[in-house]
Amino acid sequence: MSFSDGASKSSSKSSTKPTYSRFTQQELPACKPILTPALVMATFIVIGITFIPIGLSHLSASENVVELVDQYDEVCIPADSPDPDVVYSKRIGYIQDETTDKTCIRTLIVPKKMKQPIFVYYQLDQFYQNHRRYVKSRNDEQYRDPSASAKTTNCEPEAQLSEGQPIVPCGLIAWSLFNDTYTLSRNDVALPINKKGIAWESDRTHKFGDNVYSKNFQNRSLIGGGKLIDNIPLNQQEDLLVWMRTAALPNFRKLYGRIETDLEVNEIIKVVIQNNYNTYSFNGKKKLVISTTTWIGGKNDFLGMVYIIVGGVCLLIALVFITVYLIKPRPLGDPSYLSWNKNPASVQ
């Protein structure tokens, strides 16, 4: 007979009764809802009739947004050849040549009256700001703290000059700063773009220091994007701040500035673009976007559409459920459906 490890296991044979409480006896009062047809149908109907109005109002808000989009990357580059490979290399040669004048003039017609504030964005397509190598290549401490300018962890390969001096601001993100510029004019009168306050306030006050100045920036042989002004603190160079808020999607818009006058319908706006930024290597697109906003922000039909679809589908489901319920009513909890009661002999 094998003897157990009786002594090592201590079984607490307390002869006192366990204390009674509703928790220990698992008898806490509980609400036990079940999916009754009425409850489920009501849910779907309520969802349906609340979602459709929300969707409609969202759509109408989106409709009210006036948006001007102009893709200029194709037209602002002189390269016409039937062979795409030739076009590709020509374009890259053009954009990388610093000596060429890359001015490009576009005219836009205002489709509807646009009330101020009007926002000017640039939009990049197929630009992976969320690429792993890219998105990690920054050092927030260096940007915030003037004494930490030597801290360039994570900033590789744009961390230091070959002699070892740290680059401020370091990292690929800053290095690839967008540097196209737009100058707007209406009827030959310049239309000022206010570039103050385009970055998040928190970025200006906390993320970037007000006495951190750029150093050794774009001084390596490989020049990326825009340059910075060395005697203006980083937090006042708001284009950089906007750019450094990396986008989660490969197609994104970033705020370029604000127009603080209304634009009338059919007004012609002349845009002088300095087409400096290279999106041609990777076949990316560049767009200029001029847009108003409403309570939903910029133009976005998606949410409104989905709201209407979901609401409609919910109403449809409710309708189907009601129909099925009326045609083929089935009492809940019918004992005859229990398999052990499916016996003719026992259900009497």
Question: Which of positions 58-87 make contact with other proteins (CB under 8 A)?
Answer: 58
Q: Of 225, 220, 241, nearest to 175 (Cα)?
A: 225
Q: Does 34 bind other proteins (CB under 8 A)?
A: yes
Greatest alpha-carbon pair distance for the chain in Å reads: 107
| Smallest distance from other proteins to CB 163, Å | 19
Q: Does 109 bind other proteins (CB under 8 A)?
A: no
Considering CB under 8 A, how many residues would be counted as binding other proteins? 109
The single residue among 79, 161, 296, 315 that binds other proteins, judged by CB under 8 A, is 296
* Beta-ladder partners of 181: 274
For other proteins, the closer of residues 36 and 100 by Cβ is 36
Q: Of 256, 258, 288, 265, nearest to 114 (Cα)?
A: 265
Q: Does 302 bind other proteins (CB under 8 A)?
A: yes
Tell me the chain's radius of gyration from C-alpha atoms: 32
Rounded-to-integer distance, Cα 41 and Cα 318, Å:
5
The single residue among 81, 251, 261, 323 that binds other proteins, judged by CB under 8 A, is 251
| Smallest distance from other proteins to CB 105, Å | 25
Rounded-to-integer distance, Cα 212 and Cα 168, Å:
8
Rounded-to-integer distance, Cα 91 and Cα 87, Å:
6
Computed from CA positions of residues 43, 48, 53, 56, in that sequence, does the dihedral angle turn out positive or negative? Answer: positive
Contacts of 241 (CB under 8 A, 6+ apart): 199, 200, 203, 204, 207, 208, 234, 235
Binding region for other proteins (CB under 8 A) out of 33-41, 161-169, 187-195, 209-217: 33-41
Site string for other proteins, 195-234 (x = CB under 8 A): -----x-x---xx--------------x-xx---------
Binding region for other proteins (CB under 8 A) out of 75-83, 189-197, 233-241, 295-303: 295-303
Question: Which of positions 272-291 make contact with other proteins (CB under 8 A)?
Answer: 278, 281-283
Rounded-to-integer distance, Cα 98 and Cα 55, Å:
49
**In a 3-state reduction of DSSP, which class is residue 223?**
coil
Question: Which of positions 318-347 make contact with other proteins (CB under 8 A)?
Answer: 321, 330, 332-335, 337-347
Q: Does 24 bind other proteins (CB under 8 A)?
A: yes
Q: Does 25 bind other proteins (CB under 8 A)?
A: yes
